[in-house]
Amino acid sequence: EALAKGRGAVLLTAHIGHWEIGGLGLRAMGYPVNVVAIKHNTLFTDTLVNVMRSRHGIRIIEVEESTFGAIELVKALDRNELVAVLGDKPFSERSEVTTFFGRPVRLPVGPVLLAMAARAPIIPAFSVMEAPGRYRGIIESPLELHYGPDRREALQHNLLQVARVFERYIRRYPDQWYLVDPL
């Protein structure tokens, strides 16, 4: 439904359940899926994860400190494709403080800024384990993004919405949240 508007969509998830399965499921249903990726700590992990993704037709867009990754993400949205990104851990300096479980925590701003710049919807999406080896995909309605004259205020408002979605899923599936590093 969100793709009918022709702006693509930012699928926002967290390190909950088995996030890789979600992208594979959407790809199997014929949706064009791009995954925002960063380099892992080891070449072996990078190779293993990226081979699995690309073998199933998922396009990997690496984002580091250069702007080339961001340009590729915008192009994917312009092609009316899905851009999947994990948004519960900042992997660079591009983060802002928001309230998360009642505490000030830094969350990455990239997914929100991307959606705001492209006027693409942010759709929360999760793959959670219901039984050993059995996962359920959950795709929520798009967030109501705030746009206004004060861009920073709009960003803060939208980032807080993201934090609230993550809180809801972490409360519901606390044993499936795999964030090893403290926020």
Q: pLDDT tens-digit profile of 127-178? A: 999 999 899 999 999 999 999 899 999 999 999 999 999 999 999 999 999 8
Would you say the C-alpha torsion 166, 61, 31, 51 has a positive or negative sign? negative
| DSSP conformational letter for 133 | T
- The residue with greater pLDDT, 178 or 111, is 111
Q: Average pLDDT in the 113-119 region?
A: 95
pTM: 0.88
Cβ-contact 92, 147 below 8 angstroms: no
Which pair of tokens denotes residue 55? 């073998």
Q: pLDDT tens-digit profile of 66-87? A: 567 788 999 999 999 999 999 9
Given a cut of 80, whether residue 93 has pLDDT beyond it is no
Domain ranges across the chain: 2-176
pLDDT at site 45: 58
pLDDT band at 1 (very low <50, low <70, confident <90, very high): confident
pLDDT at site 34: 92
Given a cut of 60, whether residue 183 has pLDDT beyond it is no
Work out the angle at residue 139's Cα, subtended by the Cα atoms of residues 79 and 71, and round it to the nearest 5 degrees.
Answer: 30
Closest listed residue to residue 87, CA positions, set 159, 169, 5: 159
Q: Which CATH architecture has domain 2-176?
A: 3-Layer(aba) Sandwich (3.40)
DSSP sequence for 93-128: S-EEEEEETTEEEEEE-HHHHHHHHHTPPEEEEEEE
pLDDT at site 111: 94
Q: pLDDT tens-digit profile of 17-57? A: 988 888 888 988 999 999 887 766 666 556 666 666 767 77
